[in-house]
């Protein structure tokens, strides 16, 4: 499936369609940085795209689209 996970209409856990999206800081500075090396701007921090299901509470974190191209180039990330 080529569709982006956060664009899926239904929750992969419960099948519910009542899902919500937001952006939250991935940290850095004095907080742990959960997306090291993926900042696309010299200021600010990278933000997760977060999707939560209102039915079962499943919460998913996604690297934002603009940062994904940096994954293969970053010394902080290892292909698995």
What tokens appear for 54 in the block? Answer: 């209102």
- Among positions 1-60, residues that touch Zn ion (CB under 5 A) are 11, 13-14, 16, 53, 55-56, 58
State how far the Cα of 71 lies from the Cα of 25, in Å rounded to an integer: 18
Q: Tell me whether residue 58 or residue 71 sits nearer to Zn ion (CB atom).
A: 58
* 8-state DSSP, 12: T
Site string for Zn ion, 57-76 (x = CB under 5 A): -x------------------
Q: Within 10 A of 38 (CB to CB), how many other CB atoms are there?
A: 22
Q: Site residues (CB under 5 A) for Zn ion?
A: 11, 13-14, 16, 53, 55-56, 58
């Amino acid at each position: 499936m080529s569709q982006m996970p956060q664009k899926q209409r239904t929750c992969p856990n419960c099948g519910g369609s009542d899902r919500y999206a937001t952006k939250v800081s991935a940290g850095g500075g004095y907080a742990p940085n959960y997306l090291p090396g993926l900042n696309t701007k010299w200021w600010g921090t990278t933000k997760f795209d977060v999707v939560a299901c209102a039915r079962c509470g499943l919460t998913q974190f996604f690297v934002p689209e603009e940062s994904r191209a940096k994954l293969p180039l970053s010394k902080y990330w290892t292909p698995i």
